[in-house]
Amino acid sequence: MGALLVDGLGDTIRVSLSEEPEAEIPVARKLVDYISRRKNHPYIPATEAEGFDYLSPSRRKTKAVCNIGGENLPVVIAFRTDECKKINPSFPPDYIYAGRTLPETPESGVAYILDADVWKGEENALPAFNQEQLFTVSNYRTELKFLFTSYPALTDEIFACLKAHPEMVVISQSRHSNRLGEHRALTHQLMLKKLQNPVVFFQHYAENQAEDLQIKAAADMGALLIDGFCDGILLYNQGTLRPDVTDATAFGILQAGRVRMSKTEYISCPGCGRTLFHLQDTIARVKAATSHFKGLKIAVMGCIVNGVGEMADADYGYVGAGRGKISLYKGKECVEKNIPEEKAAEKLVELIGVGSAHPY
């Protein structure tokens, strides 16, 4: 929805939540207000890459650099330049931008990114350059490098550096009120120059509520994912949210864009008069029982009237069958009917355990 609004499409929106109806309007209002700030934004002069089709986009062709770009899944880079450099083990980032200092006890399995002028060739760290440091790039012997830049800052010098150093990954920044426009313009410019360096999108916020960060970051990133431009995401939030919440938001956006699955996904209906159980409590109970089944899509539906159709692409379904009764689905097939509600979550876990080939 945010991706459509950012592109100027849509005059009315409806946000549907598995909560009380009055909880839907504030979410819709936040989204509309955020997008409305871009009205009459400064013009971004840019040229569209030849052959690009917005109606049928495919992933931009890039040269893989380690695990970034090419056919690799988009990466998540975490931002940790303060004393708090811990990560959430449920959502470990692929890289951590640590600024000018490495933590005393680095996280295992995660590569760090340091500013190039303080990078000393550490085994678990990689250099990141700015435009003023381009003349030093050739002095750094490493298989992966990063360049922080923006669309207005692009120069022939940068294009030449990217061409000479295919191991360089671009981190696109924007302070423009229409940041999507600048991120798109930068990517199209690389395509026009026949450059295949991967692009990571840096998005900067100052939010104190997780919902606000989720709404804004999803709106900013959605179109870039749909366009096929995203080789990675770096979210930086200067509000009071814990950094691991920001990391989880990045993974959630990639999953919502169907480009990288990292957790169990849940589909649920908004509920109606046919729903004969407390929907929010049931969703919480199902999540608590099944959240360890990563990569699956599980539907919780109030009834069989619309629920079966709404959960058509789910791997498993938990559907109300009458007062106090639940039916379980595997794909579109009902495999067990009229289970007592108090036993249904346990039965669902058993069904997933039997029917899944994943080594959970």
Cα distances from 147 to residues 64, 113, 171, 191, in angstroms, run 16, 11, 6, 17
Kindly state whether residues 136 and 242 are assigned to the same domain.
yes
Q: Which residues contact 126 (CB under 8 A, 6 or more apart)?
A: 95, 111, 112, 113, 114, 119, 142, 144, 145, 146
Kindly state whether residues 181 and 284 are assigned to the same domain.
no
Residue 75: predicted pLDDT: 98
Residue 296: predicted pLDDT: 92
Which residue in this structure is represented by tokens 């067990």? Answer: 336
Residue 44: inside a domain? no
Kindly state whether residues 115 and 25 are assigned to the same domain.
no
Comparing C-alpha atoms, which of 218, 246, 219, 252 is closest to residue 234? Answer: 246
Compute the distance between CA of residue 262 and CA of residue 303 in angstroms, rounded to an integer: 28
Q: From 233, 256, 279, give the residue that closes a domain.
A: 256
Kindly state whether residues 230 and 95 are assigned to the same domain.
yes
Kindly state whether residues 12 and 96 are assigned to the same domain.
no
Q: Which residue range is the domain that position 27 belongs to?
A: 2-36
Residue 54: inside a domain? no
Kindly state whether residues 93 and 234 are assigned to the same domain.
yes
Mean pLDDT of 109-137: 95
Residue 61: inside a domain? no
What percentage of the chain reaches a pLDDT higher than 70? 98
Cα distances from 76 to residues 124, 253, 255, in angstroms, run 17, 10, 12
Kindly state whether residues 273 and 250 are assigned to the same domain.
no
Q: From 256, 288, 315, give the residue that closes a domain.
A: 256
Kindly state whether residues 182 and 224 are assigned to the same domain.
yes
Check if the beta carbon of residue 33 is closer than 8 Å to that of residue 207: no
C-alpha of 273 from chain center: 34
Kindly state whether residues 288 and 148 are assigned to the same domain.
no
Residue 238: inside a domain? yes
Q: What are phi and psi of 50, to 5 degrees?
A: -60, 135
Residue 301: inside a domain? yes
Kindly state whether residues 14 and 83 are assigned to the same domain.
no
Q: CATH code at 330?
A: 3.30.413.10
Cα distances from 210 to residues 207, 217, 306, in angstroms, run 7, 10, 31
DSSP labels, 135-165: GGGGG---S-EEEEEETTT--HHHHHHHHH-
**What pTM, to 2 d.p., does this model score?**
0.90
Residue 203: inside a domain? yes
Q: From 206, 222, 256, give the residue that closes a domain.
A: 256
Q: CATH code at 133?
A: 3.20.20
Kindly state whether residues 247 and 309 are assigned to the same domain.
no
Confidence of residue 239 (pLDDT cuts 50, 70, 90): very high
Residue 66: inside a domain? no
Q: What is the count of structural domains for the chain? A: 3
Compute the distance between CA of residue 158 and CA of residue 155 in angstroms, rounded to an integer: 5
Residue 56: inside a domain? no
DSSP labels, 161-228: HHHH-TTEEEEEE--STTHHHHHHHHHHHHHHTT----EEEEEEE--SSHHHHHHHHHHHHHHHHHHT
**What are 271-323's pLDDT values in tens digits?**
777 777 888 899 999 999 998 888 899 999 988 787 778 888 899 999 998 88
Kindly state whether residues 188 and 99 are assigned to the same domain.
yes
Confidence of residue 356 (pLDDT cuts 50, 70, 90): low
